[in-house]
Structure 1
Amino acid sequence: MQEWTFLTNHAHVLLCVVRDPQARLRDVAEQVGITERAAQRIVADLVEAGYLEREREGRRNRYRMHAELPLRHPMDRDTAIGELLAVLIGTRIDPDQVA
């Protein structure tokens, strides 16, 4: 029987970045259980969709989430991404992490 989870890799990557806005993609990939290249593609997807902003700080990137944006699926459009992540993290989203 194949294992599955309720959250996608996109959700897991976003959770990692919200928990640590200066996380290295190598570390994110390891936590999620994907390759570094896959983590890069996912972050690029999230930046392109407007959920994340990437800002260069020295040799590292710092990520900021746009928590007010709705989830993408038509059934979930009434829920902001920040609301979902707050439930999963078990705390309010830090305003410094929100663009």
Structure 2
Amino acid sequence: MTTPLPPAPRWTFLTNHTHVLLCLARRPDETLRRVAEQVGITERAVQRIVRDLEAGGVLVRTRQGRRNRYVVNPAVPLRHPLEAHHTVGELLALLEVPASSTLNG
């Protein structure tokens, strides 16, 4: 049984896409149900976000038995024009995610 998280603040600096990416970068074999619990959104919302991240080349999903494993592509540039000169890898490094969770790590 998991410990419930404290209530989420009314707003945060990072998006749900970033939160899902962080969860999967830190624990590449985490279930989407658990990611949803950690982020504080529905499992269906996490599934949509994962599809977005895969379509954008940020995540690569591989099947391991009955589970999925996710690997982050750190070379992908951030999407907004204000941050496009930075990469996903730089964002993860800033947020202290180990490089071993990425394609180049």
On whether the aligned pair clears a TM of 0.5, the verdict is yes
| Corresponding residue of 2:77 | 70
The one of 6, 9, 16 equivalent to 2:16 is 9
State yes or no: 1:97 paired with 2:102: yes
Greater helix fraction, Structure 1 or Structure 2: 1
**Percent identity between the two aligned chains:** 56
Are 1:83 and 2:57 an aligned pair? Answer: no
Contact (CA 8 Å) 2:25, 2:97: kept in 1 or not? no
Aligned length: 96
**SS of equivalent to 1:74:** coil
Q: Counterpart of 2:41 in 1: which secondary structure?
A: coil
Question: Which whole-Å CA distance do the structure 1 matches of 2:28 and 2:66 have between them?
Answer: 14
TM-score normalised by the chain length of structure 1: 0.91
Q: Over the residues paired in the alignment, what is the CA RMSD in angstroms?
A: 1.5
CA deviations on 1:44-90 (whole Å, 9 max, x unpaired) are: 100011100110000000111110111000111111111111111x2
Provide the rounded CA distance (Å) in 2 between the counterparts of 1:91 and 1:36.
23
Segments of 4+ moved more than 2 angstroms: none
Unaligned 5+ runs, structure 2:
1-8
Say if 2:27 is the partner of 1:20: yes
Instruction: Give the gaps of 5 or more residues in structure 1.
Output: none
